[in-house]
Every structure is written in structure tokens, then in C-alpha cells.
Structure 1
Amino acid sequence: MAGNYHHGNSPAAWTGVVIIIIGFCVGGLFTVRAELLGVAASCGIVALGVIVGLVMRAMGLGQEPAAPARPAARAGAEPTVVAVQAEEGAPVAPATSAPAEATAG
């Protein structure tokens, strides 16, 4: 799995991140200068970086999606039966992974 996963090292990821970093730098500059319009414009640059990254990924320049994980046990599936032996010579009693139902006695 580690051999197929390249941690976002793709043209789409790099382009999106560079645009977002530029947006944050511009926003920091305008924040220090107390110019609200410039801060709002920098938020637009950050949003543009996200959009560019997603569009480039849709164009095939991003990382392929990871394969889905192995599915968990289905609801209502048969429980796993394990043989348990308490002592030497004692009869074998099956144990299940499902909780035992309480019996009134």
C-alpha cells in the first residue's frame, strides 16, 4: 500500500497548495495593514486555490483515489464459531463471537 500512495505529490496538489499559500500571505499582509477589502480578496484567492486543485484532479492530474478498505462483517452474518476446551479430557463447547442471549431460568 505504501508503494502506491504518493502523499499528494501531484501537479494538482502542488498547484492548489501554492495558490492557497499565496492567498494566506496576501491575507496576512492586508491584515497587518488593516485593509478589510484586501483580506476579503485573499479569502477569494484561497478559495480559488481549492477550486483549481479540485478541477485539476478531475482532469486527471491528481492522485488516484485509494482502493476501498476490506468491508467489515455484514449485519446478520453468521457468527464465527470457535472450539474451546477448558481442561484436558473435558468436552469441547462451541463459543461464538455473538453475545449469548440471556435465558430465564
Structure 2
Amino acid sequence: MARTPKYYHHGRSPAAWAGSVVTAVGFTIAAVAAMLGPAWLWVIVGAAFILVGALTTMIMKAMGLGQP
């Protein structure tokens, strides 16, 4: 019997949540660092978090945890 993937409505998938949370943390780090100086090391760390959030979403979606 074929197993059908679970349908997530309007981005309410685990992949969307995980990517959104990691990306929000990255934007917060980068924004605070940009206002406090700017502290370029922390701006780059925030940008790295944003990229990790995007990669997390893509990998989890490929694993079947995202919306098709």
C-alpha cells in the first residue's frame, strides 16, 4: 500500500517552522549587531544563521517534512 505524504496547509509544516525560527534568530542577531556599532563579526554570524535557516528548510523539505 502506498503511503501518502501528510498535507500541511499554508506553510504549517515542520520544515517551515524550523526554517522560520532559525532565520528569525539570524535576523535578530544581525539587526542588533548592526545597531550596536556595527559589530561586523556578529552581523556575519547573523547572516550565517539566515543561510542555515534556508538550508534547514530545504533539507527538511527533501526529507518529506515540508509541503509538496
* TM-score, normalised via structure 2 length: 0.84
Are the counterparts in 1 of residues 23 and 49 from structure 2 also a CA contact under 8 Å? yes
More helix by share: 2
RMSD: 1.2
Gaps of 5+ in 2: 1-6
Count how many residue pairs are aligned between Structure 1 and Structure 2: 61
Aligned residue for 1:7?
10
Secondary structure of the residue that 2:63 maps to in structure 1? helix
Q: Percent identical across equivalent pairs? A: 38
Name structure 1 gaps, 5 residues minimum: 65-105
Query: Structure 1 5/60 Cα, relative in aligned 2: closer, same or farther at 3 Å?
Result: closer
1:56 corresponds, among 48, 52, 60, to 60
Q: Could you say which structure has the greater relative contact order, defined with CA pairs below 8 angstroms and 6 or more residues apart?
A: 2
Question: Residue type matched to 2:32 in 1?
Answer: L
| Shift >3 Å, 4+ stretches | none
> Larger radius of gyration, structure 1 or 2?
1
* 1:31 aligned residue: 34
Counterpart amino acid of 2:40? L
In 2, Cα distance between the equivalents of 1:39 and 1:5?
Answer: 33
2:51 to 24, 47, 52: 47
